[in-house]
Structure 1
Amino acid sequence: MLIGNIKYLITGLIFLFACNSADSQKRNNVAIDQNYHPLSSKIGGVNFTASATPIDSAWTGDLQNINANYVALIPYAYVRPNQPKVYFGNGRQYWGETEEGVTKNIKQAHAAGLMVMIKPQVWTQGGWIGDYDLNSEEDWKTWESDYESYIITFVKIAAKENVEIFCIGTEFKSVVKKHPSYWVKLIGDIRKIYKGKLTYCANWDDYKDVLFWKDLDFIGISGYFPLSDAVTPKTEDLVKAWEPIKHDLKLYSTQQNRQILFTEYGYRSMDQAAWRSWEMEYQDRPINNQAQANAYSAFFRSLWSEKWFAGGFAWKWYAYFRRIDPINNHDWTPQNKPAQQIMKQYYGK
């Protein structure tokens, strides 16, 4: 999807709004259940926004409150278009994207009874990482070495902290098609270090182009399938729109003998929420919480009871979300919106 670097920029803007200060921590007063035991057998998680500064564990109580059992931590890296260098760990990242921050957030999650997926992502200026390409084999060798260094850094943390799932990459549409053997080798190197479950996050329109699912434990997909261009689509209409998609997903899951995991899913709270939202990131769209809620409801009604469907991670969740105004934002987050209650209901089953 065309939301790679845009997600990152939006994250920064929302962060400024949410304000991860010590004062905001005190205002949250979140009760954390030290004996929390999630009920769902599905993976019911969120993609967690990395904090710019160190945070306490209050955010874990918010996830307990929606009956979540997983959180995905996302240490971003950066590439420039047509250049092979992968930038990370250079002191310019948010605290939550650093080795220290990721490790601390893992410990906080585990202490609260939550499981963890580490999901490294690479963003690129002025485009989508799925279109990322290089001009020479020499450049590809540089990129492959840099990317492996980035991934293995967090694989080692995952191994040390007993992280439950590790995602080896996100939405590398072009790179995966052109260099499948690289990913097979990378998976083998990871398995020498890390004993948890592995997945890869394919885009919704290219998961069938990935040739190494049988080397992984889950078929990971960014599940942003366009369903309806209606301003406020009806839940029943969206459920019908899911039917052919469900058929294809079930068939593919059977063929690959792997469950499907939506490493990302979600809808913006705006008009046409169940359409191609990533194409409207910079548009001043009318806020529509009902459209988002209907899309969430149809998603759960359509997929949550399917045995081939492992679950998913909502895009996206912010620390100190009580300061996120549900009336005046059309961000992807369900926090403080009707969609949050739908999540809570299904995550608690």
Structure 2
Amino acid sequence: MLGIGILAASFINIDLEEKDVEGPVAKYDFKKEPKIKGLTFVAPPRPFSENPMPYIQSVNAEWIAVIPYGFIPKDDHKVAHGSERQWWGEREEGVVETITKAHESGLRVMIKPQIWMHGSWIGDFTLDNDKHWQEWEETYSKYILQYARIAQEQGVDMLCIGTEFKKAMQDNSDYWYHLIDQIRAVYDGPLTYSSNWDEYKDVPIWDKLDYIGISAYFPLTDEKEPSHATLKKEWKPVVKELERFANKHKKKIIFTEFGYLSVDGCAGKTWILEKERDKHNQNQKAQADAFHCLFSTFWDEDWWAGGFFWKWYPEMRPNRKDFYNKDYSPQGKLAEKTIAEWYGKR
């Protein structure tokens, strides 16, 4: 490992913070560590035509999240992965090559196996048949443990054990506890789970993990181009709740995903905007402002470990401004400079 185990913070009980009806929560002095300055790396369909890491380093990123997607096909419940029909970068050979190039460039890596489900969001996935649950568990465990072994072999710096299993996490928590034990037997680095922004309080397994992970698409405002003051105001109650939660569990919070489309209203309901992006005007300034206010809100919070913005295309270059004009990627947009400035901070 690259010494990232030290990121599992030590905590010192120092006082009590009076909160709402849930009662007082002990404040903790979270050990100061460098922020995780990360991005989510989009797996390429073919082997790299050139090394993509220098461009990543140009925005001062220090971590990448590598996503070897698995799939639940239509009318099925079992996890499929590794088919030759999948993109090269999502298969084991592409994942290993990506990790190798990242480490050779001095970048740290989180492997984040993630499930795509045909026609639906994985957060809605659940089963009411014990046999089907058993089959799903067997296929998901095989998928995750494959990448736990790769993480150990390749000296990967962190592993995310799942992403946004809102119903499946709550309906089948015993499975997740057992899975974590299996992963710990294979991989000795830090573990997290990527909960959706509206489910993190209901996840039962934080005590077994090193970090609280959140897909941080908190809806702040539907204004087309809100001011910095408006964005900061809307973040305040979110910060209060996140700080309380971190103190309660004595663990730092990582934004395992965060990001904004480059469209009007991008700080609002991202999941709706994503489906309707063609109806909205491109707005690079709104995207850049949203990034800036997120960083300015959380950067100095010791309980916030940093995170991985969504997302980064390895074959994309800044001069291709026609490429995904309204997409999450900040590449070639105003937000790229904003990210570079914040990630350049020490």
The two structures have a TM-score, normalised by structure 2, of 0.87
Alpha carbons of structure 1 residues 118 and 328: separation in structure 2 relative to 1, 3 Å: closer
Structure 1 CA distance for aligned equivalents of residues 193 and 147 of structure 2: 15
| Alignment check: 8 A CA contact 1:155 1:190 kept | yes
Compute the displacement of 1:112 (Å): 0.2
Compute the displacement of 1:231 (Å): 0.6
| Alignment check: 8 A CA contact 1:82 1:132 kept | no
**Residue 315 (structure 2) pairs with residue 315 (structure 1):** no
Among candidates 137, 144, 154, match of residue 137 of structure 2: 144
Among candidates 82, 90, 99, match of residue 97 of structure 1: 90
**Residue 66 (structure 2) pairs with residue 73 (structure 1):** yes
What do residues 37-84 of structure 1 show as CA deviations (whole Å, max 9, x unaligned)?
xxx910010000000000155210011111111000000011135632
Residue 161 of structure 2 corresponds to 168
| Alignment check: 8 A CA contact 2:152 2:187 kept | yes
Deviates more, 1:323-332 or 1:146-155: 323-332
Residue 262 of structure 2 corresponds to 269
**Residue 201 (structure 2) pairs with residue 208 (structure 1):** yes
**Residue 336 (structure 2) pairs with residue 343 (structure 1):** no
Q: How does 1:233-312 map to 2 (within 5 A)?
A: 233-283=226-276, 284=278, 285-312=280-307
The sequence identity of aligned pairs, in percent, is 43
Structure 2 CA distance for aligned equivalents of residues 134 and 113 of structure 1: 42
Deviates more, 1:78-87 or 1:57-66: 78-87
Secondary structure of 2:116's aligned partner: strand
Among candidates 185, 198, 217, match of residue 191 of structure 2: 198
Secondary structure of 1:232's aligned partner: coil
More helix as a share of residues? 1
Secondary structure of 2:85's aligned partner: coil
| Alignment check: 8 A CA contact 2:266 2:273 kept | no
The two structures have a TM-score, normalised by structure 1, of 0.87
What do residues 221-269 of structure 1 show as CA deviations (whole Å, max 9, x unaligned)?
0000001100111112101111110000000000001000000000000
What do residues 98-129 of structure 1 show as CA deviations (whole Å, max 9, x unaligned)?
11000000000000000000001101111100
Secondary structure of 1:280's aligned partner: helix
Number of equivalent positions: 310
Compute the displacement of 1:96 (Å): 0.4
Structure 1 CA distance for aligned equivalents of residues 282 and 271 of structure 2: 15
What do residues 2-35 of structure 1 show as CA deviations (whole Å, max 9, x unaligned)?
xxxxxxxxxxxxxxxxxxxxxxxxxxxxxxxxxx
Query: What amino acid maps onto 2:163 in structure 1?
Result: T
Structure 2 CA distance for aligned equivalents of residues 190 and 328 of structure 1: 37
Residue 25 of structure 2 corresponds to none
| Alignment check: 8 A CA contact 2:263 2:281 kept | yes
Residue 20 of structure 1 corresponds to none
| Alignment check: 8 A CA contact 1:83 1:134 kept | no
5+ residue gaps, structure 1: 1-39
Secondary structure of 2:128's aligned partner: coil
RMSD: 1.3
Structure 2 CA distance for aligned equivalents of residues 229 and 296 of structure 1: 16
Deviates more, 1:162-171 or 1:319-328: 319-328
Residue 183 of structure 1 corresponds to 176
5+ residue gaps, structure 2: 1-32
Compute the displacement of 1:214 (Å): 1.3
Structure 2 CA distance for aligned equivalents of residues 325 and 309 of structure 1: 32
After the TM superposition, list the runs of 4 or more consecutive aligned residues in structure 1 that deviate by more than 4 angstroms: none
